[in-house]
Amino acid sequence: MNVSVCRIEFRLPENHSLKGKRHVVKSVIARLQNRYKVSVAEVDNQNLWQLVTLGVACVSNHRQHADETLANVVKFIVQNYPDLELLSSDIETFP
């Protein structure tokens, strides 16, 4: 069993409130969970209205599958949310 974890940080340059941030974050989380069947949570910067840090986890029998899934998650966010500015994404895998 392999567990891959991805920390994704992005900025909401056009956002001006926590309410607007919540709307975007909930949308991203729901779409990722429905499309990729991964666990997603906002893990940092909850009180900053222009910064979002998501933690995404995937469990698989094959390390390559878990890593590819998380790489696809990052690509999905970049392609489907052009208003979000990706700051960083780091993937770690634990055997």
Question: How far from 36 is each of 9, 30, 57, CA to CA, in Å?
Answer: 19, 10, 10
pLDDT computed for residue 38 by the predictor: 98
Categorize the per-residue pLDDT at 95 as very low, low, confident or very high, splitting at 50, 70 and 90: confident
- For 23-58, write each residue's pLDDT tens digit: 999 999 999 999 999 999 999 999 999 999 999 999
pLDDT computed for residue 17 by the predictor: 94
| 44-53 burial code (b ≥16 CB/10 A, e <16) | eeeeebbbbb
Domains and CATH numbers, the chain: 2-94 (3.30.70.1120)
**Global pTM?**
0.91
pLDDT > 70: what percent of the chain? Answer: 100
